[in-house]
Amino acid sequence: MKYLWIFLVLAEGMFFSAKGQNNQSYTDVLLLMGSRFEITAVSSDKDKAQQAIQAGITEIQRIEDLISSWDPNSQTSAIVANAGIGPVQVDQELFNLIRRSLKISRLTHGAFDISYASMDKIWKFDGSMTDMPDSATVAASVSKINFNNIILDAKNRTVFLKEKGMKIGFGAIGKGYAANKALSLLSTMGLDGALVNASGDLISWGKDAGGKEWKIGIANPKNKEQIYSWLTISETAVVTSGNYEKFVEFKGERYSHIIDPRTGYPVKGLSSVSIICPDAELADALATSVFVLGKEKGLELINQLNGIECILVTDDQKLITSQHLQLEYQETNNKN
Ligand code: ADP
Ligand code: MG
């Protein structure tokens, strides 16, 4: 479970929207890409809403088939099966996703890397570890990770993993990509609003059932029951990375389940990272990146990027935001 310190505030029941329509919000919850997806459509027409939701589901399933690492018949699995052997021709869509992933790797100096998937799982987060593994074991565990060894050929639309044993996986970008695609499809279906929530990774369009801008409440990290501030998220994605429960502790230091692919060591210092920007895919990838980069370097990166903001929660429950983030503070709730 993700530490839910961001609450989605959905208008409930039936409302009269600004247009004077009898709008209602319809939501379907289902398991897609191994995650809980919630797809919401706002409309005065129930059939229209349900059709739109179904179209969104079909779209996410289509993407899952393309990028899945566990389906042996996916194009992604074909790339992995041919690591160190030869290039594999793929659909333009997958090719482009990999190309964008490599861009984020360059932007983050390798903090984000889809070849992360080839890491040996030497860290256990179930309390069974008593000591740090030795440094040679740690170094060996990440030896096959290197985004520079993912070779793209745009002319032939091929992907080649240069070294045997290399793997790629879209765990840190795929959900965001799917959310983008599903939402943009829903936005063409005559609705008044739509929202896709992939286990806390959100993207919205249009208006909520009350005809208002979509809003989320951000919980006070020191008191999860309390709303710390509000954030309008119209036409924006909010993606949260982090896991409050999964960590390992050595000599009183808490290490998170996210591992720096450049060193093989779990990162520490942050307990949650939320990225706010119009693009759910970019937000997804940057959330993991900032986690790996840590508080200082992560903030520095986000502050340099136009139109991309972040909210970080540190290990000691401090909330830090990027320079230009506008939060609507709740005076009454913010006294402690
Ligand atoms: P969630 O699935 O809850 O959104 P995260 O956003 O933290 O979780 O992403 C975790 C996923 O990202 C895992 O599937 C993992 O394999 C992948 N991943 C972890 N670290 C990296 C990294 N540095 N680069 C690319 N992918 C990563
Ligand atoms: Mg993510």
The distance of Cα 118 from the centroid of its chain, to the nearest Å, equals: 20
Answer yes or no: is 81 within a domain.
yes
Q: Whose CA is nearest to atom 5 of ligand 1?
A: 241
For ligand 1, say whether the CB of 114 is within 6 Å of any of its atoms: yes
Residue 214 · residue 221 · CB < 8 Å = no
For position 222, what pLDDT does the model report?
80
Count how many domains the chain has. 1
pLDDT of residue 81: 98
Q: State the distance from the centre of ligand 2 to the C-alpha of 46, rounded, in angstroms.
A: 31
> What does the pLDDT read at residue 250?
84
In a domain, 181, yes or no: no
- Do 106 and 150 contact (CB within 8 A), yes or no? no
pLDDT for the residue 19: 54
Asked if residue 171 is part of any domain, the answer here is no
Q: What is the pLDDT of residue 335?
A: 41
Instruction: Give residues whose Cβ lies within 5 Å of ion ligand 2.
Output: 241, 284
Segment (H or E) for 38: strand 35-43
CA of 18 to the centre of ligand 2 (A): 34
Task: Give the domain extent around 122.
Answer: 75-161
130 class by beta-carbon count within 10 Å (0-12 exposed, 13-18 middle, 19+ buried): exposed
Mean pLDDT, contiguous 10-residue spans, the chain (336 residues): 52 48 89 94 96 98 95 96 98 98 98 97 86 94 98 98 97 96 97 94 93 87 80 90 75 86 94 94 97 96 96 90 81 44
Residue 168 neighbours by CB under 8 Å, 6+ apart = 69, 76, 79, 80, 98, 114, 115, 117, 118, 150, 161
pLDDT at 248: 82
**Is 92 domain-assigned?**
yes
Residue 189 lies in a domain: no
Flag whether the pTM goes above 0.85. Answer: yes
Check if 241 has its Cβ closer than 6 Å to any atom of ligand 1: yes
> In which residue are the tokens 């041919």 written?
82
Q: Is residue 119 part of a domain?
A: yes
Contact 34, 7 (CB under 8 A): no
Name the residue of 102, 258, 259 whose CB sits within 8 Å of the most ligand 1 atoms, as the mutation to test its pocket: 258
Ligand 2 centre distance from Cα of residue 204 (Å) = 17
Q: With respect to residue 65, please indicate whether it lies within any of the assigned structural domains.
A: no
CA of 6 to the centre of ligand 1 (A): 19
Residue 203, pLDDT score: 95
Strands (E), 123-269: 150-153, 158-161, 193-198, 201-206, 215-220, 223-232, 237-241, 247-250, 253-256
CA distance to 133, 141, 263, per residue, from 137 (Å) = 6, 6, 11
Q: How much is the pLDDT for 88?
A: 98
Q: Which residue has the tokens 């004077």?
A: 20
Residue 83 lies in a domain: yes
Name the nearest CA neighbour of 275 among 333, 200, 225.
200
Sign of the Cα torsion 226, 231, 237, 241 reads: negative
- In angstroms, rounded to a whole number, what is the distance separating the alpha carbons of residues 101 and 96? 8
Atom of ligand 1 nearest to the CA of 171: 14
Q: Could you write out the DSSP letters of every residue in 267-333?
A: P-SEEEEEEEES-HHHHHHHHHHHHHHHHHHHHHHHHHSTT-EEEEEETT--EEE-TT---EE-GGG
What pLDDT is recorded for position 301? 98
Query: Measured from the CB, is residue 171 less than 6 Å from ligand 1?
Result: yes
How high is the pLDDT of residue 10? Answer: 54
8 Å CB contact between 58 and 64: no
Place of tokens 């991309």: 308
- CB environment 252-269: b (16+ within 10 A), e (fewer): eeebbbbbbbeebbbbbb
pLDDT at 334: 45
Question: How far apart are the C-alpha atoms of 258 and 100, rounded to whole Å?
Answer: 21
The label of the residue with tokens 């059939």 reads 47
Return the CATH number at 82. 1.10.3980.10
Distance CA 139, CA 262 (A): 9
Q: Quick one: which of 46, 26, 28 has its CA closest to 36?
A: 28
